[in-house]
Amino acid sequence: MNNISGTIPKCLNNLIVLAQNGNSSLTIEHLYTTQLGEGDILWNYEEEASLIWKGVRSKYKSTLGLVKSIDLSSNKLIGEIPNEITDLVGLVSLNLSRNQLTGQIPPRIGMLQELDSLDLSRNQINGRIPNSLSRIDRIGYLDLSENDLSGKIPIGTQLQSFSPSSYGGNPLLCGLPLLRTCDEDKEGPRQTVLVNQDDQDGLITQGFYISLGLGFAIGFWGVFGTLLFNRSCRYTYFNFWACFTDWLYVKAEIIRQRAPNTR
């Protein structure tokens, strides 16, 4: 809830703690010294933080070290979500809501297997929801509402378990748990038949017919043209067929004459 503007830096994957799996310490402690009189006194205090987690503002202290979170919500960020954010495999919560982000959700977002909460609502994110998002088993809170997402919600037990409000405000989005049925589902059987026909007739293309026509023309004129313009070849050709027909006639007569003797 600041006035941060510009794009999200691509160097987010340099955050070493977020780029590694494994649990951190439960608490985050800070040590400092103060000079009192002739000696130094060592002080320590435990850090606490307040952040929005799963849509609810909560305060964390005793378990703050486990909250691996990025919350840049309610700012003036623009541009696309950098693909490098998917390298933060230890990230548990990501909140980029209420900005002016565009582009698509990173296709490799499924790499964030530790992600428990994802809020990208109220931006201008477009395109389809990546299939890899359905492979995050532990995600318990999802809000993609008020964007320009389109297409079918990927099939997965996690994505279908959220309420329709998690996807609201995306008029081109369809599929469960929304009530809008995708056209591909309505015409599924007919499309399947067309796909099978395309697979069977994959060689019957425009190039096939062109090749067939050229082959016929070359073959026809290769024989007919030779006979038409070369007298010796024409005489040889017709003499061959005349001899061949005479041979067939003689063979047929011999077989006919022998037929009664074999009875």
237/235 Cα distance (integer angstroms): 5
pLDDT of 204 above 60: no
Q: For strands 29-36 and 39-46, give the pairing.
A: antiparallel
Q: Between 212 and 186, name the one with better pLDDT.
A: 212
Category of 20 on φ-ψ map: left (φ > 0), alpha (ψ -120 to 50) or beta: beta
Burial class (CB in 10 A: 0-12, 13-18, 19+), 117: buried
Contact assessment for residue 61 and residue 82, using Cβ atoms and an 8 Å cutoff: no
Confidence label for 7 from pLDDT (cuts 50, 70 and 90): very high
pLDDT at 227: 65
pLDDT digits (tens, 9 = 90+) for 81-104: 999 999 999 899 999 999 999 999
Report, in this order, helix, strand and coil percent for the chain, each rounded to 5.
Answer: 40, 20, 40
pLDDT at 203: 47
pLDDT digits (tens, 9 = 90+) for 107-166: 999 999 989 999 999 999 999 999 999 989 888 899 999 999 999 999 877 899 999 999
Residue 53 neighbours by CB under 8 Å, 6+ apart: 67, 69, 93, 117
How far are the Cα atoms of 210, 233, 235, 245 from residue 257, in angstroms, in the given order?
A: 52, 36, 33, 18
pLDDT at 8: 94
- Tokens representing residue 134 in the block: 């359905």
* In the chain, domain spans: 5-24+68-189, 208-262
Confidence label for 41 from pLDDT (cuts 50, 70 and 90): confident
CATH superfamily entry for domain 5-24+68-189: Ribonuclease Inhibitor (3.80.10.10)
Q: What number is the average pLDDT over the span 199-225? A: 66
pLDDT digits (tens, 9 = 90+) for 225-253: 776 677 777 678 777 878 888 888 887 87
Q: How many CB atoms lie within 10 A of CB 140?
A: 13
* CA–centroid distance for 146 within its chain: 22
Q: What number is the average pLDDT over the span 173-198? A: 64
Contact assessment for residue 41 and residue 34, using Cβ atoms and an 8 Å cutoff: yes
pLDDT at 133: 92
Q: Between 181 and 35, name the one with better pLDDT.
A: 181
